[in-house]
Structure 1
Amino acid sequence: MASNAPVSGSGLYADPREDWLALRKEEIIDPQRPIVDPHHHLWDRGGQRYMIEEMAADIASGHNIVATVYVDCRSMYRAHGPEAFRPVGEVEFANGVAAMSASGGYGPAAICAGIVSHVNLLLGEDARAVLEAEITAGNGRFRGIRHSSAWDADPNVAGMYATRPKGLLLDETFRKGFACLAPLNLSFDAWLFHPQIGELADLARAFPDTKIVLDHCGGPIGLGGYANRRDEIFAEWKASTRDIAKCRNVVVKLGGLAMRLLGYDFHEHPKPPSSEEAAAAWRPYIETCIEAFGPERCMFESNFPPDKGQCSYQVIFNAFKRIAAQYSEAEKTALFSKTATDFYRLRPA
């Protein structure tokens, strides 16, 4: 059995602890509502395993998950061959998981119905050949890439991203690679920290025909030098969020808020948070995003397993459902399934 001591492999999130999470069980709110989970990872490394079996078990805990989207996490890159093409292995892996899911042996949800992997856009125009290889490997499921631009001068924030280049989204060569996406009908997942939202807005305005999703509510920070400044940081994040929402080619994923990055210490409590507690903490961020983007450009995400360090699959979607209770039926449908289905062009079951 895993230890109850809170730990963090990345610094930005706490490692999941099944025994601790089991201390909180909840009845499922609105259990019949179809949900597309548009952001999760799968990996088996560093003593952590989160593969189709673990994902299927979380899904089976009660919410009506109909489909999921796998997102880049450097899993199963090829060990050999040209460096630029090694991420193709991740697409092959995720497509294999999708085939396993399609057998029906892991529950009714279409796991990895959409696949987002990685291509190094600093390849410039040469990125196109890698993108085409990933399209082939995806067998009709590949939808786009994520090239993380997360960077901060504070090493306590940057964590494993400390060596990433500053200003990546503004780089001329990166943008030549980025220009390869739209002609191939591919989207871009943007993972960054909130001080970088303005750089993404600049990129979005330069490429208005490229579909972009802002991951994890734009990565608001509450660690390191940003700690104990929540009201001030919230105001800065809110202004940046409202600005980028003016870019009609950008949508936002509502989640990633159960990482340590936000500055909450739920993972250090004797018991996991209830959905009421989680909803109270996350509501200002999620409501700000929905107000800025509109429900038709917002989608709830699990961000599992990183967010599993602070709450269970039951609790995270119950919290989302509590926050969404004020919205109309059509708006709830957008938030929980339609926006994700449309953005990632998922096929109905």
Structure 2
Amino acid sequence: MTADRQAWLALTAEDAVDPDLPICDPHHHFWDRPSSRYILEDLLSDTGSGHNITETVFVECSSEYREDGPEALKPVGETVFVQGIADESATGNHGSTEVAAGIVGSADFTLGDAVTEVLEAHLEASPNRFRGIRHRAAWDPNINAGSPGAPPEGILLDPKFREGYARLGPMNLSFEGWVYHPQIPEVTDLARAFPNITIILNHIGGPLAIGPYEGRRDEVLETWKQSTAALATCPNVVVKVGGLGMTFTGYDWHERDQPIGSEELAEAMRPYYLYCIEKFGPDRCMFESNFPVDKVSYSYNVMWNAFKRISEGFSDSEKASLFRDTAKRAYRLGISG
């Protein structure tokens, strides 16, 4: 995040709503790249902006892979990298937030049963924090087909993928479902085929509003609702409520002269987020930041204020689930191994 972007975000300043409410942020990234950097100090700057962030969960982002060795094992370098950050956070020299209390890595399930070696290597690198795998599946013929790093069409339905995916169950690991909204039925099929594996749907299933979906928000919303309702019938699925700050959702927030405030942001998010909570229930929903990706559109403080405005009508126990308890349970935080 550049200094100019930070200065832009600072143009919209708000006091934190309900600042003492405990929050587990179940989805953020770390990377240190030539053109962009988001590491411990950057996250702590955000988590320290007014809300009570008690724990966080790191989710893979192709960061700090091993430069040599077997190709399949290169993603383990990311887990080693994040475990080091977690160890630094645990020294107590950086405040009370337990950073990367859970770690989600990457593995290629199309290896089939051979992916077991990769999963074991992740667990060896982080025996007390490693919790699951995200094998990115987001694909759309008009959005990213043929792009570098894009997954093949229908990866979640591929028999070889499922052979590898099946290894998660015996190892007590979860799966991060990162798809675009037309693919949600594929997640439902996967969930029903493997009811013993927890799926954590990322970013409410990625509703698209660019390319051929531009100008069709109401139509997409209805399609997304139908698919989301079907997915919610699978008891082994929980959902991360967030991600609308990404530009493929079609909002112009990142282009404004002044960043959006939490009241307007909450109003835009409500149709999606309240529907998720209605269908899944608070005990299977968790608000997420998706930082620094969503930081292109709004600040950390404004985002959590928006989430709190959306949840104003919920009971204290329901808020506890949405902001912390669902995440802690899904990622088994506070449980060794």
TM-score category (smaller protein):
over 0.9
Partner residue of 1:120? 108
Aligned mates of 2:149, 2:74 — CA distance in 1: 22
Structure 2 CA distance for partners of 1:250 and 1:161, relative to 1, 3 Å: farther
Which of the residues 227, 231, 234 maps onto 1:247? 234
Query: Equivalent residue for 2:160?
Result: 173
In the alignment, the residues of structure 1 paired with residue 2 and residue 174 of structure 2 have an alpha-carbon distance, to the nearest angstrom, of 38
Select the residue among 317, 322, 326 that pairs with 1:335.
Answer: 322
**Is 2:138–2:150's contact at 8 Å kept on the other side of the alignment?**
no
- Per the normalisation by structure 2, the TM-score is 0.97
Alignment correspondent of 1:212: 199
Aligned-partner Cα distance in 1 for 2:180–2:187: 10
- Determine if contact 1:37/1:68 at 8 Å carries over to the other structure: yes
The answer on whether the counterparts of 1:193 and 1:219 sit within 8 Å (CA) in structure 2 is yes
Q: Report Cα offsets for 1:76-103 as digits up to 9, x if no partner.
A: 1100100000111111111111001001
Unpaired runs of at least 5, structure 2: none
How many matched pairs?
336
Q: Which secondary structure does the structure 2 equivalent of 1:184 belong to?
A: coil
The percent of aligned pairs where both chains have the same amino acid is: 53
Q: Does 1:79 align with 2:92?
A: no
2:141, 2:126 → 1: CA distance? 36
Counterpart contact for 1:150–1:158, Cα < 8 Å = no
What corresponds to 1:34 in structure 2?
22
C-alpha separation between the residues in 2 aligned to 1:42 and 1:274?
A: 26
- Which residue number in structure 2 is paired with residue 233 of structure 1? 220
Deviation larger for 232-241 or 99-108: 99-108
Question: 2:86 maps to which residue?
Answer: 98
Deviation at 1:19, TM superposition (A): 1.1
Give CA deviations for 1:161-206 in whole Å, capped at 9, x if unaligned.
Answer: 6742000000000000000001000000011100000001000000
Report the Cα offset of residue 139 of structure 1: 2.9
Are residue 151 (structure 1) and residue 105 (structure 2) matched? no
State the Cα deviation string for residues 10-37 of structure 1 (Å, max 9, x = none). xxxxxxx111101011000000000000
TM-score, structure 1 as length reference: 0.94
Q: Residue 131 of structure 2 contacts residue 331 of structure 2 at CA under 8 Å; is this kept in 1?
A: yes
8 A Cα contact 2:112 2:160, kept in partner: yes
Aligned residues of 2:54 and 2:97 also touching (Cα < 8 A): yes
Q: 2:174 is aligned with what amino acid?
A: S
Alignment-derived partner of residue 259 in structure 2: 272
| Distance of 1:31 and 1:112 partners within structure 2 | 21
One-letter identity of the residue aligned with 2:98: A
Deviations 1:207-232 (A, max 9, x none): 00000000001100011110000110
**Are the aligned partners of 2:177 and 2:201 in contact in 1 as well (CA < 8 Å)?**
yes
CA 1:133–1:197: 2 relative to 1, 3 Å? same
Query: How many angstroms apart in 2 are the aligned matches of 1:113 and 1:2?
Result: 27
Does the C-alpha gap of structure 1 residues 229 and 256 become closer, same or farther in structure 2, counting only changes over 3 Å? same
How far residue 277 of structure 1 moved from its aligned partner, in angstroms, is 1.0
